[in-house]
A = this chain, B = another copy of it.
């Protein structure tokens, strides 16, 4: 009933705009697709713009995609969603994509060695013009698949041999900053909760830690390094080991991740250690939890969100051939000094 009374406003297509503005659809396209070399008289241009606005025109992406063989969306492949680092990366990527008029298609997958299917489907059916790839695992199937991709790929959070395009974080420098700070506060027996061996970010932090020690002429003691991985539980277990080892006896801990630091703090508390009185602690990667911990944790900021943003922008530049290579090294952010480190230097 109601439909009969209301004059159904025509769908806003180029054709309908052309009809209303009494011009050809192609002219409308010339104006609305913002082609730089338009050559349309400002009179007709204004008229078209006006009509388009009145009809609240939004281009039909499918039609445009079909015509120009581009989807105007990029995909992002993430191994886990419950890791705050990836959440921030996605956040940044979404911002970058939408700034450039692209949408972000998400493909989640467990980071196993054999998978890679979602990725395949994503690019084969022309759903995306390019791909942002993150992974925790150096040898993951996605990385292998990425090397054969027909669309541009930008790897986030690490450098991968054979894939030029990446936006990564200088984690070794972040580790150096964190370790140096502990040294400056008088610490000499500094433990390191480290990542897996096959993780480039973990290895980077380990080297940064070692370099900072060397620079301060503090001998490296392997007893002070425990592999924790990236989880709270891992941090807690590694710390237990550390405390149980009579050859360790650290006065400070450098944790490679916020989660790991949380686990470490729990283990310390459980074993009767008070932070920072009995043990100082610093971690890489700032986040809301850091300031909510008790005591608030001193951290080196990690620009995860920026990583996603820069990755998206770079990828789109690649797609649009504005550049042919993306290689961005992001420097660590600031050292956020809170209350988890005690100054134990004698000449204080």
Residues of A in contact with B (beta carbons under 8 Å apart): 56, 58-63, 65-66, 71, 73, 81-82, 84, 87-88, 90-91, 94-95, 98, 103-108, 118, 121-122, 124-127, 231-233, 236, 262-263, 266-267, 269-270, 287-289, 291-294
- Which residue in chain B gives the minimum CB-CB distance to A237? B292
CA distance A270 to B267 in the complex (A): 16
Contact: A82 with B81, CB < 8 Å?
Answer: no
Contact: B62 with A66, CB < 8 Å?
Answer: yes
Instruction: Write the nearest CB–CB distance from A9 to chain B, whole angstroms.
Output: 13
Say yes or no: A98-B125 contact (C-beta < 8 A), given A108-B91, A288-B232, A288-B233: no
Contacts of A124 in B (CB 8 A): 56, 58
Contacts of A106 in B (CB 8 A): 90, 94, 104-106
Q: Assembly of this chain: how many copies?
A: 2
* Centre residue among A63, A95, A125, A288 by max chain B CB count within 10 A: A125
Instruction: Write the nearest CB–CB distance from A291 to chain B, whole angstroms.
Output: 7
Instruction: Write the nearest CB–CB distance from A110 to chain B, whole angstroms.
Output: 10
CA distance A292 to B63 in the complex (A): 51
Instruction: Write the nearest CB–CB distance from A115 to chain B, whole angstroms.
Output: 12
Say yes or no: A125-B287 contact (C-beta < 8 A), given A105-B104, A292-B263: no
CA distance A247 to B126 in the complex (A): 64
Contact: A269 with B292, CB < 8 Å?
Answer: no
- Which residue in chain B gives the minimum CB-CB distance to A81? B87
Instruction: Write the nearest CB–CB distance from A306 to chain B, whole angstroms.
Output: 15
- Which of B65, B82, B121, B122 lies in contact with A84, CB distance below 8 A? B82
Contact: A121 with B66, CB < 8 Å?
Answer: no
Contact: A231 with B288, CB < 8 Å?
Answer: yes
- What are 9 residue pairs bridging A and B, where the CB atoms are less than 8 Å apart in the complex? A56-B124, A62-B126, A63-B66, A66-B66, A90-B106, A95-B108, A98-B107, A103-B122, A105-B105
- Which residue in chain B gives the minimum CB-CB distance to A265? B294
Say yes or no: A270-B294 contact (C-beta < 8 A), given A60-B66, A118-B98: yes
Contacts of A121 in B (CB 8 A): 58, 98
- Which residue in chain B gives the minimum CB-CB distance to A65? B62
Instruction: Write the nearest CB–CB distance from A265 to chain B, whole angstroms.
Output: 9
Instruction: Write the nearest CB–CB distance from A12 to chain B, whole angstroms.
Output: 9
CA distance A62 to B71 in the complex (A): 7
